[in-house]
Structure formats: C-alpha cells, structure tokens
C-alpha cells in the first residue's frame, strides 16, 4: 500500500496495519497523536523531560501491543491517551518511590511526618478509592471525558477535538457523569459505617 493511500486511512484502519507490524502506519499514528500525548504527559508530570519519556514509553508500548486496540471501546486517540495516562502514573509512582528511598538513605524520613499513618491520609485514601470505584461504574464515554477534564486538565474544546466529538456532547457527558458521581458518592457517604 502506498504512503499516500495510508495517509487517507482512518486511525482504526491504521491500527490494523500496526498490529501486523507496519512501521509506516505506526508513524502516521504517531504523527496524528503525539502532540496530544505530550500535552497530557506534560500536564501530569509537570516537566518536559519526564513527559517526553512517558510519550516515548507509551508509543513503544503501542507499537508492541497494537493488536490490543479494540475499536468498540473508543477511538484510537482515546486509547493512545489512556496508554499515556497509565505510563505517566507509572512514572510518577517510580519517582515517588525513588524520592522515598533517597530520603530513607539520607535518614530524612525521621524529619518528616509519615503522612500514610495519619487519620487524614487514611481518609483521603478511602475517599480516592471511592471516587475510583464511582468513575469505574460510569459508562466509558462519560468517565473518559471526566478524566480528561479533571485529571488531564483539558478544556471542553480540546477534549472534543481529541475525541472527534462535538463540544456540546462532551459537555453533556461531563454533566451526566458528574451527576451520576454525585449520586453514587452521596450514597457512599450516607451509608452506615
């Protein structure tokens, strides 16, 4: 298939070629989604170097696991951003563990309060778990736009562009998802202990 023909293909069709090991199809996927991927990684890590590493790791993973893309679960962009999101979280966790080890090696842990041992931290972890559960219970299209808006920091118009969806639809999905979250979290908060 000629390069010109590949450029006309939809992302979903290119992913089929990627799953068969087609490097030119992968290059086109990268060209189409690398900017949004970097934007998300940068917003999550806060620094250029780690964000570039996240994007590189994510696209390497996509190249190796292209066959795992399932068009019934969302667009290629949504899938790519999901991979980037997970890689960024992995990097943030690695950095946290590294900082904790370094503090331990330097004997600094005795100088800081152990936040994971406080009642406040325990309550925060419980609240975070409840929010994760509530998000997981939402329909995929609602949880995705909420994650992009609130965890990714994207505007409604940026999300609409990423997901190839009208802005009104994005706003509606966020509104419906937040209403369901409020209902679910209200039930959790009101449940007897």
Best CA proximity match to 80, nearest among 69, 91, 90, 88: 69
Give the model confidence (pLDDT) of 138-151 as tens digits: 888 888 888 888 77
First CA to last CA distance, the chain: 62
Given 112, 138, 164, which residue is the final one in a domain? 112
Distance CA 162, CA 152 (A): 12
- pLDDT above 80: residue 186: no
Domain that holds residue 124: 114-193
Kindly report the CATH number assigned to the domain that includes residue 3. 1.10.1740.10
Q: Are residues 18 and 101 in the same domain?
A: yes
Burial class (CB in 10 A: 0-12, 13-18, 19+), 32: middle
Q: Are residues 84 and 29 in the same domain?
A: yes
94 or 193, higher pLDDT? 94
Domain count across the chain: 2
Q: Are residues 67 and 121 in the same domain?
A: no
At 83, list the tokens: 């991979």
Give the model confidence (pLDDT) of 34-85 as tens digits: 999 999 999 888 889 999 999 999 999 989 876 688 888 888 998 899 899 9
85 or 186, higher pLDDT? 85
Q: Is the dihedral of CA 158, 156, 88, 85 positive or negative?
A: negative
Given 84, 112, 140, which residue is the final one in a domain? 112
Q: Are residues 71 and 139 in the same domain?
A: no
Q: Are residues 134 and 189 in the same domain?
A: yes
């Amino acid at each position: 298939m000629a390069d010109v023909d590949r450029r006309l293909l939809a992302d979903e069709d290119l992913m089929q070629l990627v799953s068969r090991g087609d490097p030119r199809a992968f290059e086109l996927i990268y060209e189409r989604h690398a900017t949004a991927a970097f934007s998300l990684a940068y917003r999550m890590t806060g620094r250029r170097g780690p964000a570039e590493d996240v994007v590189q790791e994510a696209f390497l993973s996509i190249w190796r696991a292209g066959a795992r893309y399932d068009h019934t679960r969302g667009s290629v962009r949504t899938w790519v951003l999901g991979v980037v999101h997970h890689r960024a979280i992995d990097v943030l966790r690695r950095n946290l563990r590294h900082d904790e080890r370094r503090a331990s090696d330097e004997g600094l842990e005795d100088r800081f309060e152990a936040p994971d041992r406080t009642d406040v931290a325990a309550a925060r972890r419980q609240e975070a778990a409840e929010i994760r559960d509530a998000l997981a219970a939402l329909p995929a299209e609602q949880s995705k736009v909420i994650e992009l808006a609130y965890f990714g920091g994207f505007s409604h118009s940026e999300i609409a562009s990423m997901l190839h969806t009208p802005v009104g639809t994005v706003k509606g999905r966020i509104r419906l998802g937040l209403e369901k979250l409020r209902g679910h979290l209200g039930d959790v908060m009101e449940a007897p202990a």
